[in-house]
Amino acid sequence: MLRRAAIVWLVLLAAYAATIGLDAFGSSDYGGDEPHYLLAAKSLVDDRDFDVLGDYRARAYRDFYPYRLDMQGSVKNGRLYEPHGVGFPALIAPAYAVGGAKGVELFLAALSALAIALAYLLALRVVPDPWAIGAALAVGLSPPLLAYGTAVYPELVAGAALAGAALLVLRLEVRPSRGAALACFGLLALLPWLGTKYVLAGIAVGYFAVRSLGRSHRGVLALAGVELAAVSVALYVGINEGLYDSATPYEGHSATGASFPLGYVDRSYRLAALLVDRDFGLLRWAPVFALALVGVWLLHRSRRERLARVIPAHHQAELAASTCALALGAQLAAAAFLAPTMFGFWFPGRHLVAALPLAVPLVAWGLRHAPRVGAALALVGVAASVWLYLDVRLGGGGLAAGRPDAPWGPLVNAFPLFDRSALPYALAAAAALGAAALAFIDSRRWRRVAGSAR
For residues 167 and 118, the answer to whether their CB atoms sit within 8 Å is yes
Is the model's pLDDT at 260 over the cut of 90? no
Angle at 139 between CA 134 and CA 142, to 5 degrees: 120
What residues form DSSP beta bridges with 76?
79
What is the C-alpha to C-alpha distance for residues 36 and 40, in angstroms, rounded to an integer? 6
Is residue 351 within 8 A of residue 155, CB to CB? The reply is: no
Query: What CA–CA distance (Å, rounded) separates 329 from 332?
Result: 5
Angle at 136 between CA 198 and CA 379, to 5 degrees: 115
Q: What is the mean pLDDT of residues 404-421?
A: 87
pLDDT score for 434: 73
- Give the Cα separation of 87 and 236 in Å (integer): 9
Cis peptide before 340 (omega within 30 of 0): no
Q: What is the 3-state secondary structure (H, E, C) of 127-196?
A: CCCCHHHHHHHHHHCCHHHHHHCCCCCCHHHHHHHHHHHHHHHHHHHHCCCHHHHHHHHHHHHHHHHHCH
Q: Which helix (H) or strand (E) holds 76?
A: strand 75-76
pTM: 0.93
Q: What is the pLDDT of residue 217?
A: 86
pLDDT at 30 over 80: yes
Phi and psi at residue 28, to the nearest 5°? -105, 135
3-class DSSP state of 279: coil
Residue 451: band (very low, low, confident or very high) from pLDDT cuts 50, 70, 90: low
Residue 32, phi-psi category: left (phi > 0), alpha (psi -120 to 50), beta (remainder): left
Q: Directed axis angle between helix 87-124 and helix 2-17, to 10°? A: 130
What's the confidence (pLDDT) of residue 272? 87
Distance CA 270, CA 260 (A): 17
Instruction: Quick: pLDDT tens for 153-169.
Output: 999 999 999 999 999 99
85 pLDDT above the threshold of 60? yes
pLDDT greater than 70 at residue 68: yes
Read off the amino acid at residue 73: G
- How large a percentage of the chain has pLDDT more than 70? 92
pLDDT digits (tens, 9 = 90+) for 276-293: 998 889 999 999 999 999
**What is the pLDDT confidence band of residue 447, given thresholds at 50, 70 and 90?**
low
Which among 198, 199, 226 is positioned nearest to 210, based on CA atoms?
226
3-state helix, strand, coil in the chain (%, to 5): 70, 0, 30
Residue 395: which pLDDT band, with cuts at 50, 70 and 90? confident
Residue 79 pairs in a beta bridge with 76
Report the alpha-carbon distance of residue 130 to residue 107 in Å, rounded.
Answer: 29
Q: How far apart are CA 273 and CA 279, in angstroms?
A: 9
What are the phi and psi torsion angles at 36 (to 5°)?
A: -70, -40
Tally of CB atoms within 10 A around 404? 15
